Amino acid sequence: MTRLVADDYKHIPGMLPEFDLRLRRQTGLGLKDLAVHAAGVTEWPAGGTAGKTRVAAVTLTGGEGALDGFAEAVAAVADFLGADAFVTRAADAAGLAEAYESGAEIVMLADDERFVAINLVTRRVSDNSQLTGRAFATALDLMAGGLRRRGALVLGCGPVGRSAAEALAGCGASVTVFDPEISRSRELVLRLRRISGAPVMAAESLRAALSSHQYLLDATPSGGFISGDVIDDRTLVAAPGVPCGVTTEAAALLGERLLYDPLCLGVAAMLMDAAGGEAASP
């Protein structure tokens, strides 16, 4: 997963109500309902304390080390969604044991490689990259009033971009993908054509692809490459990529036609998937 820095998420606990309102204006759904829709579940199931699902955020210190305040931001999102959320006092294996001993039904934890939500009851594992891609594809579809038979451009063919492209194809969009490594684009096209039969294409020119698409999903780790000269008053951008690929000038032109969020949507969708998805197979 992309390694965030504190400036990406430290503001989240205090801005969730404002983010929720903005999301409603952009998509017609608040954070909870959009996450439920993206995860493909029917509702946020009750359980745990006072009918709330108990969620533990555990800090991991391996690899490049713990992200200061990250677990607190994750727990804040879970709490906003209606969970009984807490951050374990201990980290690593001790934190996982504390979560289990404290009655957590879902544990959320991240290292340098993966960010997952694990349902301790059903053993379901929900991956942030996959659910972030699905959540932003869902958001773009809602922003556009439906993308069926309309062209959408996915930038970046990493885990988030692959998931987003698959979800957009599932919405009936005509998907074009771009990655600086053209082999990754072509590989994704072949995979999507095989599993969905969708009209998916690989773009070889970034400039041409940006200029010819109205609906963009930026899943790249490259900042500031979508400039104002490729944007018009119909352009919509959903951007889970960190840093945001939209320049400051282009963001001003887009206003609320830009949905950029480095954490909340992905956390919300993976939590809903972990809580409401089917139990893992034995």
CATH of the domain at 217: 3.40.50.720
- Tell whether the model's pLDDT for residue 49 goes beyond 90: no
- Quick check: is 281 in a domain? no
Residue 51 has pLDDT above 80, yes or no: no
Give the pLDDT of residue 87: 98
At 22, list the tokens: 């903005």
pLDDT of residue 35: 96
99/145 same-domain check: no
Residue type, 12: I
- Over residues 185-213, the mean pLDDT reads 92
The amino acid sitting at 74 is: V
The helix (run of H) or strand (run of E) holding residue 190 is helix 182-196
Give residue 95's pLDDT: 98
Best CA proximity match to 142, nearest among 12, 25, 282, 28: 28
Residue 24 buriedness (CB in 10 A; 0-12 / 13-18 / 19+):
middle
Report cis status (omega within 30 of 0) of the bond before 159. no
Query: Is 168 a domain residue?
Result: yes
C-beta of residue 252 within 8 angstroms of C-beta of residue 19 = no
**What pLDDT score was predicted for residue 280?**
57
For the chain, what percent of residues have pLDDT higher than 90?
85
Cβ contacts of 13 within 8 Å, gap of 6 or more: 72, 73, 76
pLDDT at 211 over 70: yes
User: What is the phi/psi pair of residue 148, to 5°?
Assistant: -60, 125
The answer to whether residue 35 sits within a structural domain is yes
- Average pLDDT of the chain is 93
Same domain, 52 and 151: no
Residues 136, 257, single domain; the answer is yes
Average pLDDT for residues 28-49, to the nearest whole number?
A: 83
Q: Are residues 208 and 138 in the same domain?
A: yes
CA distance 74 to 194: 36
What is the bridge-based pairing of β-strands 115-119 and 106-110? Answer: antiparallel
In a domain, 63, yes or no: yes
pLDDT at res. 114: 94
- pTM, 2 dp: 0.94
Chain centre distance of CA 115: 11
Q: What percent of the chain has pLDDT over 70?
A: 94
Query: Which pLDDT value is given to residue 144?
Result: 98
Instruction: Assign residue 114 a region (left: φ > 0; alpha: ψ between -120 and 50; beta: otherwise).
Output: beta
pLDDT the model gives residue 116: 98
Count of helix runs (H) and strand runs (E) in the chain: 11, 11
Determine contact, residues 141/236, Cβ cutoff 8 Å. no
User: d(Cα 211, Cα 205) in Å, to the nearest integer?
Assistant: 10
Provide the pLDDT for residue 65.
Answer: 80
6 Rama class: left (phi>0) / alpha (psi -120 to 50) / beta: alpha
One-letter amino acid at 47 equals G
Q: How many Cβ atoms from other residues are within 10 Å of residue 38's Cβ?
A: 28
CATH number at 122 reads 3.40.50.12150
Q: Provide the pLDDT confidence category of residue 277 given band limits of 50, 70 and 90.
A: low
The answer to whether residue 1 is domain-embedded is no
104 and 141 both lie in a single domain:
no
Range of the domain at 34: 6-129+265-276
At 214, is the secondary structure helix, strand, or coil? coil
Residue 218: what pLDDT?
A: 98
* Confidence (pLDDT) at 199: 84
**249 and 152 in one domain?**
yes
CA dihedral 161, 164, 170, 176 (to 10 degrees): -50
State whether 162 and 123 are in the same domain: no
Rounded Cα–Cα distance for residues 161 and 18 (Å): 27
- Total number of domains in the chain: 2
Write out pLDDT tens, residues 8-33.
899 999 999 999 999 999 999 999 99
